Amino acid sequence: MHMATILVVGGAGYIGAHCCLDLAGRGHRPVVYDNLSNGHESFVQWGPLEIGDLHDRSRLREVMDRHRPAAIIHFAALIEVGLSLADPLSFYQNNVGGTIGLVSAASEAGIDKFVFSSTCATYGVPQATPMAEDHRQVPINPYGRSKLMVEQILADLDALRGFRSVVLRYFNAAGADEGGRIGEWHDPETHAIPVAIEAAMGRRAGFTINGSDYDTRDGTCIRDFIHVMDLADAHARAVEHLLAGGTSATVNLGTGTGTSLLELLDVVRTVSGRNVPVARGPRRAGDSPSLVADNRRAKALLGWEPKRSIEDIVTSAWRWHSSRNTG
C-alpha cells in the first residue's frame, strides 16, 4: 500500500487522534480538519492541523484542494446521547447537515472514498445478542437516528454514482494510546471508564450505576468495550480497503464480549488498587440492557481482530488519567 494523504475530519478528538497515530505508523499522512470545539490542539501530533468548521464549505474545499487527500475519515459529530434527547436539532444539524456539506465538498473535489464513524446506537433495542450488521435498525434516540440517516445517504450516493464508503458501527470505545501521548479527554466526562477512574482517583464523589434491575447476569447494563487503538487499526484497514479498490461496506467494531458495569468496576479496582464508591440510580432513558457486537464481518472483510482485553483497556486508561495532573 503506497503512502496516502488522508483527511481526518474531527482528528483532534478522542478516536480521531488515535486514528492519526495509527495512520502515521503505517506511513500515511493524516491531515486533521477540526474546529476544536471538542478536540484538543495538543492531540494533533502526526500531521498538519487545519482549523475549520464542518459547515464551512469554502474552507473545506480550500483544505481539500491544497492537500489533495485520497480519502476522508469522518469523526466530527456530537455524541452524547442525553444531549441528543435535550437538543435534537443541533444533532441533526451537525451530524446530518454537517456530513452532507462534507460529502458535497468531497464530491466537488473528486474524492470518492469515505470512512464514516457510525454506532451500534443505530440498531436500537437488541432483538438478539450479539448483534450482526443485518440486525434491524430502529434507533431510540436522536443521536442514533442522526447516524442512521448518514448511513442511508452514503448508501444512496454509492448506488447513484459510486461514491464508496465504509461505515464503521462502533460499540463502546475506551482506553488510551499505550505510549501515553493521548487518551480520552472529554469535558464534561460522561463515559463509564473515565468516570470510574476519576472516582477511584478521588476526583469525583463516586460512580452512579443507572439501573440495577436489567435482565442481565448481574442486573446492570452490559457493554462491549473496544480499545481505541483497536478501533484506530480498523479505520486504517477500512481506508486501505477503499484505496485498493474495495467496495462499500458496513462493519461492526466490537470485541464480541460484553462487560457489565459491576464487572467493569471490579477491573478498575483491581488495576488501580483503589476503591470506587458506588451509588445506585434509576435507569436512564435510551439505555439498552445489553450491547454486544458480532464482529465476524470485520474479520472477514478487513482482516481485523481486536487484540486488547478489558484489563488492557482499563490499564491504558488508568495510565493516561494518572499522568494528567488535573482536578
Do residues 50 and 74 lie in contact, with contact meaning Cβ atoms separated by under 8 Å? Answer: no
Choosing from 33, 123, 143, 214, the catalytic residue is 143
Closest CA to 7 of 51, 71, 103: 71
Q: Is 170 a catalytic residue?
A: no
Do residues 9 and 74 lie in contact, with contact meaning Cβ atoms separated by under 8 Å? Answer: yes
Do residues 183 and 317 lie in contact, with contact meaning Cβ atoms separated by under 8 Å? Answer: yes
Q: Which three cell numbers stand for residue 286?
A: 435510551
Helix, strand, coil content of the chain in percent (nearest 5)? 40, 20, 40
Element (H, E) at 192: helix 192-201
Q: Between β-strands 259-260 and 222-223, what pairing exists: parallel, antiparallel or unpaired? A: antiparallel
Closest CA to 143 of 80, 223, 101: 80
Do residues 14 and 186 lie in contact, with contact meaning Cβ atoms separated by under 8 Å? Answer: yes
Buried b (16+ CB within 10 A) or exposed e, 143-158: bbbbbbbbbebbeebb
Q: Which three cell numbers stand for residue 254?
A: 466490537
d(CA 256, CA 290) in angstroms, rounded, equals 12
* DSSP code per residue over 70-138: SEEEE------HHHHHH-HHHHIIIIIIHHHHHHHHHHHTT--EEEEEEEGGGTBS-SSSSBPTTS--B
CA distances from 266 to 88, 187, 218, 288, 310 (A): 35, 25, 13, 21, 11
For 184, the 3-state DSSP assignment is coil
* Active site residue ranges: 143
